[in-house]
Structure 1
């Protein structure tokens, strides 16, 4: 049985500086990303494309989505395998290549740093990263490689 989920968001441009898009330099890239329930995310373009570095850009949000999805699946897989995770952080990096007509991501590298409760859980925790990757909805939806460079340690 297949289930279908729908996600609705609203993007509202807030960068009209009084003359709209009268020229490339005359408008701001600021916008708000919202959905029913969570707080608004202030968005912009990458600073390389005249964006505000104090706001989130779509490229960062894509890398963050991949990192979040992997973490959530990994924690689920660990819970099911009786691997007790006590800490998790990921320093993810996405690489994008500019082209004449836009650009595309060439890869994202996730670097999850995981702490488990017992030394005998370390090997299973390492293996579960691959299982989490295979289950991640976001990773399955992109057309570039998502690599993993995990580390696992014990709380001691």
Structure 2
């Protein structure tokens, strides 16, 4: 499946409190993210940036994209090598460093997938599939910081 793929998203700021951006503390960071045909996502800035901690923030969405992309790439890698995955859960974390000039960047993401495979004979191939998934993950290939993997493979 070669080719160019295009994605569309609508971001709508919903945080006008009546005076727009008249001052840094005068507006809410509320945003609605929408893709046609899918439920809207209520988003905001992270709490340290005057956001609503009850809503998704851009940093969490980036981490979620990396985790899900690896998961989907991993499942594909397992299918191609005959590994039967019966469960997969990832406790991902990311580190973002502010630069002191109102900017910053992620410095690292660590994915910690806990994978259960059907048979003991599949464990080594299951471990190797993480390396293949890293090569296939579109999102990980698009970022300029390390995305590390600390997988745990069990049989059950």
TM-score normalised by the chain length of structure 1: 0.97
Counterpart of 2:125 in structure 1 is 124
Counterpart of 1:149 in structure 2 is 150
Counterpart of 1:108 in structure 2 is 109
**Cα distance in 1, alignment partners of residues 19 and 153 from structure 2:** 53
Deviation at 1:37, TM superposition (A): 1.5
CA RMSD of aligned residues (A): 1.0
Deviation at 1:80, TM superposition (A): 1.2
**Cα distance in 2, alignment partners of residues 71 and 132 from structure 1:** 8
Q: How many residues align?
A: 155
Give runs of aligned pairs for residues 130-141 of structure 1, distance below 5 A. 130-141=131-142
For residues 46-70 of structure 1, the C-alpha deviation after alignment (integer angstroms, 9 at most, x for no partner) is 0010110110000000000000000
Counterpart of 1:52 in structure 2 is 52
Deviation at 1:74, TM superposition (A): 0.3
For residues 115-139 of structure 1, the C-alpha deviation after alignment (integer angstroms, 9 at most, x for no partner) is 0000110111001101000110000
Give runs of aligned pairs for residues 20-35 of structure 1, distance below 5 A. 20-35=20-35
Deviation at 1:100, TM superposition (A): 2.2
In structure 1, the gaps of 5 or more residues are: none
Give runs of aligned pairs for residues 77-88 of structure 1, distance below 5 A. 77-88=77-88
TM-score normalised by the chain length of structure 2: 0.97
For residues 82-101 of structure 1, the C-alpha deviation after alignment (integer angstroms, 9 at most, x for no partner) is 10000000010010000123
**Cα distance in 1, alignment partners of residues 45 and 152 from structure 2:** 32
